[in-house]
Structure 1
């Protein structure tokens, strides 16, 4: 058959295949659609880290990572309680996202290039800028890394902490004995029992876990930072619709603080005269529609959970047991590096 004739004969089939392909792409189900249909968000957390995610005596989850998930549930359902929390250790957390066991990982996880490109994750904006430190007993006379020569150091497997410590010690030519565990509780229990002379983790985690030791004042976090640890939630790669919801929920929390919008004045300001605030809270424009949510989704978040500073203060800052200074987690216009694109 002549080439032109063959092409014309196959044209109906080609058009049919293209149409099917287009329908398939159009019907691709986002995680957001699944969550809405299910009626709740499934959030992977640590569950063992005061300040970030832990279970209180009354059985309720609390912490900054927990509040991030509650903020997302508030954005979607106007109800921060529509979240199911699942405890994950450092080794199993990424698989839980990849397999769809959880919708989001909100578990003091460091954003790195390998995790962003090779593990099938997409990282949302950073919610806590941290750095790795080392905790020792005050009577140990350990003041710097060189004092740890020949000593045992506890850490967790499957974390950047394990790798960072090895890099720093190799760079300085310091021999040490790593004691590596999968479970965070085992890691700190081993340190508490004196089987290792030091324990290393993110500085915020060290402060948090020190508060749970029988005699917290007997321990100190050394005045050194050996790494950058930008902690951020993560979702499965390739779902831009769901990623947008998580991303702009966090940006909404940050922008609300910057604009002075909090849980106490959100209703009043939503009906005020500031056009920037009105766009943020959805009483002007239709920005929420582009995210796949209602236009007032940020208003829902702030009403139920508060802005970023309210979340920080009650979980980690001045209104918490930890009393952590905000440091780099201050807004960009207050000496920190917390920054969010505008709602426009």
Structure 2
């Protein structure tokens, strides 16, 4: 009996492993679209516009993967998820890719059966207050009531920061970022804490945005990026290199406006990126023009940043550490060769 049971367990394990390896890429191709988990509405990252169309840096990551797989960035079904729902939705297969301002941590990378495919925005947690309370530093927040989103690293960082600085606070938790912003706007809390990018995004939703200010302290590292399930290397590679292609395109000066002309470039790095030479697409089980399709339909990383959160957007965030490595930032993609 033990031998039969042991054989059954081994067989089941092999089946699960085989299923994971067969994986998402084949499933996505078969159904003809990709399910992408996004936020319930965060301007600049994943949010619907007046026409009901999804926009944002995280949305562009979804579109880039769809462009690579199908040659069509529109082949995406967006699934809005709260912070509490996001990991379960990915683990269960409800979504194929999670691209929802999610922080890469050791615990999430090792304990949830998930893999982060890179960083599409380097962030850090901060605090937003009403100007009328006269606070200029987070170190003046002893005894404050703080609105915070549940199920996030933000909650943990908040506790760590106040404990380390021997301050007390009263947390009020909400499921969505919009709920935290609404509570802050209606005076239910003195402070709203979140990633700084979210604070700027949420401030423009307030009744009087100019009445609120973001304090200077940044209390954490928040590398945000797309996430896939572990045990599915094919899909992991597609997600990872789709993001890398956008970063590489910016570095090489390849944009939506000039990508067709760039196919005639004699630069071997550009030729490989756009599939003019080599067979790199086949290594990803994609067409060789996979990266060309990304740049043509979505743009390079810099274009995505500028239109969604940069100086050309309502958020007007400076590139800062999200600039390319050769322009003083952190963005660096491995070679496409």
- TM-score, normalised to structure 1's length? 0.92
Whether contact under 8 Å (1:124, 1:247) holds in the other structure is yes
Q: Identify if the C-alpha distance between structure 1 residues 86 and 25 changes in structure 2 by more than 3 Å, giving closer, same or farther.
A: closer
Unaligned runs of 5+ in 1: 1-16
Quote the Cα distance in structure 1 between the aligned partners of 2:51 and 2:307. Answer: 17
Equivalent of 1:117 in 94, 110, 116:
110
Unaligned runs of 5+ in 2: 1-9
Please list the CA deviations of residues 49-98 of structure 1 after superposition, one character each: whole Å capped at 9, or x if unmatched: 00000111111111110111011111111111110001000001000000
Quote the Cα distance in structure 2 between the aligned partners of 1:191 and 1:222. Answer: 15
1:156 Cα deviation (Å)? 0.9
Quote the Cα distance in structure 1 between the aligned partners of 2:88 and 2:318. Answer: 33
Quote the Cα distance in structure 1 between the aligned partners of 2:97 and 2:43. Answer: 20
Quote the Cα distance in structure 2 between the aligned partners of 1:50 and 1:279. Answer: 34
SS in 1 for 2:313: coil
SS in 1 for 2:84: coil
Counterparts of residues 1-344 of structure 1 (less than 5 Å): 25=18, 28-344=21-337
Whether contact under 8 Å (2:22, 2:232) holds in the other structure is no
Quote the Cα distance in structure 2 between the aligned partners of 1:301 and 1:55. Answer: 21
1:141 Cα deviation (Å)? 1.1
SS in 1 for 2:22: coil
Quote the Cα distance in structure 2 between the aligned partners of 1:26 and 1:208. Answer: 40
SS in 1 for 2:146: strand
Quote the Cα distance in structure 1 between the aligned partners of 2:188 and 2:57. Answer: 31
Quote the Cα distance in structure 1 between the aligned partners of 2:138 and 2:68. Answer: 45
Quote the Cα distance in structure 2 between the aligned partners of 1:113 and 1:220. Answer: 32
Whether contact under 8 Å (2:21, 2:232) holds in the other structure is no
Q: Structure 1 stretches (4+) deviating beyond 3 angstroms?
A: 24-28
Largest Rg, 1 or 2:
1
Quote the Cα distance in structure 1 between the aligned partners of 2:223 and 2:73. Answer: 25
Quote the Cα distance in structure 1 between the aligned partners of 2:97 and 2:141. Answer: 38
Quote the Cα distance in structure 1 between the aligned partners of 2:138 and 2:311. Answer: 31
Please list the CA deviations of residues 180-206 of structure 1 after superposition, one character each: whole Å capped at 9, or x if unmatched: 122222211111111100010000000
Measured on the aligned residues, the alpha-carbon RMSD in Å equals: 1.8
Quote the Cα distance in structure 1 between the aligned partners of 2:183 and 2:66. Answer: 37
- TM-score, normalised to structure 2's length? 0.94
